[in-house]
Amino acid sequence: MGIKTALPAAELGLYSLVLSGALAYAGRGLLAASQDGAHRKAFRESVRPGWEYIGRKMDVADFEWVMWFTSFRNIIVFALSGHVLFAKLCTMVAPQFRSWMYAVYGALAVLGTMGPWYLLLLLGHCVSLYVASLLGQPWLCLGLGLASLASFKLDPLISWQSGFVTGTFDLQEVLFHGGSGFTVLRCTSFALESCAHPDRRYSLADLLKYNFYLPFFFFGPIMTFDRFHAQMSQVEPVRREGELWRIRTQAGLSVVAIMAVDIFFHFFYILTIPSDLKFANRLPDSALAGLAYSNLVYDWVKAAVLFGVVNTVARLDHLDPPQPPKCITTLYVFAETHFDRGINDWLCKYVYDHIGGEHSEVIPELGATVATFAITTLWLGPCDIVYLWSFLNCFGLNFELWVQKLAEWGPLAQIEASLSEQMSRRVRALFGAMNFWAIIMYNLVSLNSLEFTELVARRLLLTGFPRNTLAVLFVTYCGVQLVKERERTLAMEEGQQDKEKLE
């Protein structure tokens, strides 16, 4: 009840005012803390000179982001630009061979970056999963795929296989794990699709063309084989009306996001402050809550930029890749929480939906989530923090279903039925606000540190109780209501469009 119900405009205006004021207040506290801590000894390694002409230093704690846009920027631009030009030439001259050309270019790029032995190593994994697909046994393909993935995540095999990379450079470990992990997932998807559609008789060449598509190779996102093959097999692909404009818009938004992050890190040291717990503990509760929230928002922006750039190139190649993940600001249920839509789609198709069915029964859902997060743990690399992260998010996903089942129980369902639709929406938003902070805390464990998560939890739940705890909860409640209003508006617009199409 209350999902499609509108709230009074004055009430929504109040929510907007409260949320805007709270974000501004928390931002002011973070800005002051960043200025005060800029010259601390603990910040020297991760706060470096930035805009020297105005005396601003820059937070460089995220080495991947720094590497992407400093030392490796030209290499990335060169590789993707070469792919775009090569793809355009092939599309004009021999569009029927474009998938082959993409694979050859991708394989040569991997060869030049990581060396011939690494390329042969990946080809070995591709061939082994292709042979398994010929047997037509999905359990064997999935088992072998997980075993291959484990060989890149667990010692001693990971140490042995990493020796196949030629040379040493800053992003070597990142590229090794990215290329290897995504290769295994792509090969497993190929094998499972081959088992599901034995009449189509996919070849080893189809697998190689799928795996060595350069824009997706190192960092994803991953497209399941059936989608990739269907889109890449179009001999003369045709763009939808306005597609090029949308591609230019996506590229422009990615550039704007990169510039915005660069500016942001010159004023807010959100990645460095959590590393100094004594300093972080001095922050007011509002700034500390904003710091925890901003860490998750940054991780989303980082993923959105990475996938935005890659997806722009893929869409130029007439593909429809997975979209960037939903912003953390719009999430208040665990069922929609993910930081990589491609991985999420892969897990849902081959594990979560296969075991959980309609996701309406407690026991099948428990089995589905345990299996899904077990594979996710293997994908991320088994360690204590990943175990804890997986357990917390698995619990959160199941707890949502338990609460839903409890709400459908007779007495509680009658209580909700006695409420007006607007009041029902308010009650649900209150639970959504609490769930929102559970999502933040559960994911902050892996995105930052367990110690910082404990500090935030202690300050917001114990030290700041009840005043600051309820204040943060009310601000979050306002945000959830605004998100619900946006969802309601979008649903109405989609319904109107569908109605117009039928007429």
| Contact call for residues 377 and 390 (beta carbons, < 8 A) | yes
More confident position, 395 or 331:
395
pLDDT band of 71, cuts 50, 70, 90: low
Residue 235 has pLDDT above 80, yes or no: no
**Across 354-359, average pLDDT:** 85
- Cα 44 from Cα 76, distance rounded (Å): 29
Question: What confidence score (pLDDT) does residue 2 get?
Answer: 47
Question: What confidence score (pLDDT) does residue 226 get?
Answer: 92
- Cα 43 from Cα 20, distance rounded (Å): 30
Q: What's the pTM value of the predicted model, to 2 decimals?
A: 0.89
- Cα 259 from Cα 254, distance rounded (Å): 9
pLDDT band of 1, cuts 50, 70, 90: very low
Backbone region of residue 308 per phi and psi (left: phi > 0; alpha: psi in -120 to 50; beta: other values): alpha
Contacts of 317 (CB under 8 A, 6+ apart): 87, 98, 102, 215
**Across 147-164, average pLDDT:** 87
CA-closest candidate to residue 441, choices 428, 426, 457: 457
**Across 44-65, average pLDDT:** 82
pLDDT band of 174, cuts 50, 70, 90: confident
Residue 501 has pLDDT above 70, yes or no: no
Question: What confidence score (pLDDT) does residue 502 get?
Answer: 64
Q: Which amino acid is at 187?
A: C
β pairing state of 56-59 and 47-51 = antiparallel
- Cα 387 from Cα 385, distance rounded (Å): 5
Question: What confidence score (pLDDT) does residue 388 get?
Answer: 95
Tell me which residue has tokens 């045709």.
238
| Contact call for residues 309 and 45 (beta carbons, < 8 A) | no
- Cα 185 from Cα 225, distance rounded (Å): 10
Question: What confidence score (pLDDT) does residue 76 get?
Answer: 79
| Contact call for residues 213 and 304 (beta carbons, < 8 A) | no
- Cα 213 from Cα 101, distance rounded (Å): 9
More confident position, 15 or 55:
15
- Specify the 3-state DSSP secondary structure of 415: helix
Domain boundaries, the chain: 71-233
pLDDT tens profile 416-430: 888 888 999 999 999
Question: What confidence score (pLDDT) does residue 160 get?
Answer: 86
**Across 436-453, average pLDDT:** 93
What pairs with residue 58 in β-bridges?
A: 48
Question: What confidence score (pLDDT) does residue 360 get?
Answer: 82
**Across 145-151, average pLDDT:** 94
Highest-confidence segment of 305-309, 334-338, 348-352: 348-352
